[in-house]
Amino acid sequence: MSKPTVFLARSLPEAALNHVSQFCHLRIWDESKPLTREALAHELADVDGAMLTGIGADAELVKHASKLKVISTATVGYDGFDVAGLAEQNIYVTNTPYVLDETVADLLFGLILSGARRIAPLHEQVKAGNWTKQTTAQSLYGQDVYNQTLGIVGMGRIGEKIVHRAKEGFGMKILYHNRSSRPEIEKKYGAKKLELHELLEQADVVVVMVPLTEATKHLIGKEELSKMKETAILVNGARGAVIDEAALIEALKQKTIFGAALDVFEIEPLPPGHPLLELDNVTLTPHIGSATAATREAMALRAAENLVAGALGQKPRDALS
């Protein structure tokens, strides 16, 4: 039996490449050239599987890909993929859940601390030589984290990891807003489920961890921001469009909330001159939730395993439909 052929939009770490090449013929895009939608459609036309990390796909894109059985992505998020439309053409879409949970939770708690204690802005102040004997103590003040109230919007796996760090390490009170109740979280951590407006009114730190859907786009907007405490921190580790960025910028400028810490944005990378770059009450990181070598390698291997399974005609472990 001949090996199936798969297309990789970018190369992979050695262990993942080795796994794929053991079972499949590989075709890897030359990353020095832009992969246009037209070129991608051409590449998919005669392969059994594809890995498209960072690139979306829909039914129209694959209408001539008669052999295609699986599209794998080495990410948790899959909002760029029309999962239902691709399933109608008998194409699996797979992601990489679980692998990155602890790593992302580490970063999110780092963002909580930086947002509250202004670590990133004050770091820049020191580097710029603006910490002098004339600097007032009050100008360096931040907000406490220990024993404060954490509100998680979207209590999934990563939300639970953040809660563990908050409760066990910082003695925080836990509130959450979620489509469904999480009684095991309530029992283990004393968490309380609230409506969104109640959580925003009560939390000292609000962490947004919902997936991006039509229902969650701009879930946090002007009205929601107005309900938050003036001393509150807003942290986003989900998708940029879950927060109305223009409304957040206005709230930060007017100091109706204390600060924000963001790993995701409506436009990525942030363009030069973006208003967020001018503010001194934000921490900004370049979408690095899972960005450690060990985690990215583990995600690539998991994505490779999904790709191989689908290309061989099996249902992948992480099939989304």
Active site amino acids: 239, 268, 287
Longest dimension (CA), the chain: 77
Nearest-angstrom CA–CA distance, 280 and 264: 18
Contact 101, 286 (CB under 8 A): no
Provide the 10 A C-beta neighbour count for residue 126: 10
Q: Which of 247, 306, 255 is nearest to 19 (CA)?
A: 306
Per DSSP (E only), the strands in the chain are 5-8, 25-28, 49-51, 70-72, 92-94, 149-153, 173-177, 192-193, 205-208, 233-236, 259-262, 282-284
CA–CA gap between residue 205 and residue 21 (Å, rounded): 46
Strands 5-8 and 49-51: parallel
Rounded Cα gap, residues 33 and 160, in angstroms: 41
Which helix (H) or strand (E) covers residue 301, if one does?
Answer: helix 293-311
Q: What is the dihedral of CA 271, 83, 98, 240, to 10 degrees?
A: 20
Strands ordered across the beta sheet of 70-72 = 25-28, 5-8, 49-51, 70-72, 92-94
Residue 85, sorted as left (phi over 0), alpha (psi -120 to 50) or beta, turns out to be: alpha
Sheet holding 205-208, edge to edge: 192-193, 173-177, 149-153, 205-208, 233-236, 259-262, 282-284
CA 209 to chain centre: 8
Q: Which two tokens stand for residue 125?
A: 């102040």
